[in-house]
Amino acid sequence: MPVKPEDMPFLDHNGHPIPLYSPEGFDALSQLWMQVGWSVGYPFAQSWMGFPLIQFPQDVMRMQNLITQEQPTLIIETGVSGGGSMAMYAHLALVYGGARVVGIEKTLRPQQMQALAAHPILGPHITVIQGDSTDPAILPILRAHTQPQDWQRVCVVLDSSHRYDHVLKELRLYGPLVTVGSFVMVMDGALKDMAHVPNGKPRWETDNPHRAVQEFLQESPAFVLDTQDMHPPYTFIQNNTLKIKRLDG
């Protein structure tokens, strides 16, 4: 049954009603949609070409725009899970000639990894390395799985553990691999908004990727938070995928 606007009045911090049919109303509705969607596991219902993809669809839209516009030659992702995001990157990169996609995952899902490796079109572009993404010993293994030409335009997606200290370690380890003008995408920034929803953890208010990004930006002047491609500005993806752009060497 459709919900009528008058059934769901939103109030701002001062207790004043927010008109539903407005950018502000959409923003409030989107925040709520994301919180409820997250609590019922909506991101777990997604897939790319049959490979499980744990994302909100709007974040997938943003990623496909980024990948096809920035055209990285090497995409490094921490946190592979069922491989759907790697499949998506490899698939989209075929539009501009292909990219090497390297994932780092602590707990491999053998069945899905075998299916990914055996895929006739995507498989040859994809490498998965088993290990803790914060282990510096990963870097030489990563290099060994790539060719010099792969390193022309490098982007990084951090989507493993979303704990503050883990993300900060990853930013310090993988940030320097990003080429000038390219980006690091830090996923699940919205965790801080999920601290008090069902299945959330109160510690997420402070133990979250946002905090790691803020600290990394303070210590790394070559990087800035880039929100240029986020339009319209009132969608709920705003806090979820944090794009950090590398400005100079």
Q: Which residues bind ligand SAM (CB under 6 A)?
A: 53-55, 77-81, 84-85, 104-107, 132-133, 159-161
C-beta closer to ligand SAM: residue 73 or 240: 240
User: Could you tell me if 163 and 207 are in contact, meaning their C-beta atoms sit under 8 angstroms apart?
Assistant: yes
C-beta closer to ligand SAM: residue 25 or 175: 175
Can you tell me the distance from the alpha carbon of 228 to that of 247, in angstroms, rounded to the nearest whole number? 14
Tell me whether residue 184 is exposed, middle or buried, using C-beta atoms within 10 angstroms of its C-beta: 0 to 12, 13 to 18, 19 or more: buried
Least separation, in Å, of the C-beta of 167 and ligand SAM?
10
Least separation, in Å, of the C-beta of 66 and ligand SAM?
14
Least separation, in Å, of the C-beta of 81 and ligand SAM?
4
User: Could you tell me if 43 and 54 are in contact, meaning their C-beta atoms sit under 8 angstroms apart?
Assistant: yes
Least separation, in Å, of the C-beta of 242 and ligand SAM?
15
Least separation, in Å, of the C-beta of 140 and ligand SAM?
17
Least separation, in Å, of the C-beta of 105 and ligand SAM?
5
- Closest by CA to 158, choosing from 132, 184, 140, is 184
Query: What b/e sequence results for 98-126 when a residue is b if at least 16 CB atoms lie within 10 Å of its CB, and e otherwise?
Result: ebbbbbbbeebbeebbebbeebeebeebb
Total residue count of the chain as it appears in this document:
249
C-beta closer to ligand SAM: residue 25 or 84: 84
Can you tell me the distance from the alpha carbon of 106 to that of 123, in angstroms, rounded to the nearest whole number? 20
C-beta closer to ligand SAM: residue 73 or 133: 133
Least separation, in Å, of the C-beta of 141 and ligand SAM?
13
C-beta closer to ligand SAM: residue 53 or 168: 53
Residue 157: partners with Cβ closer than 8 Å, 6 or more residues away: 63, 75, 76, 77, 78, 85, 89, 184, 185, 187
Q: How many CA atoms lie within 13 A of 23 on its CB side?
A: 5
- Closest by CA to 190, choosing from 172, 204, 169, is 204
Can you tell me the distance from the alpha carbon of 233 to that of 31, in angstroms, rounded to the nearest whole number? 13
C-beta closer to ligand SAM: residue 28 or 78: 78
C-beta closer to ligand SAM: residue 80 or 171: 80
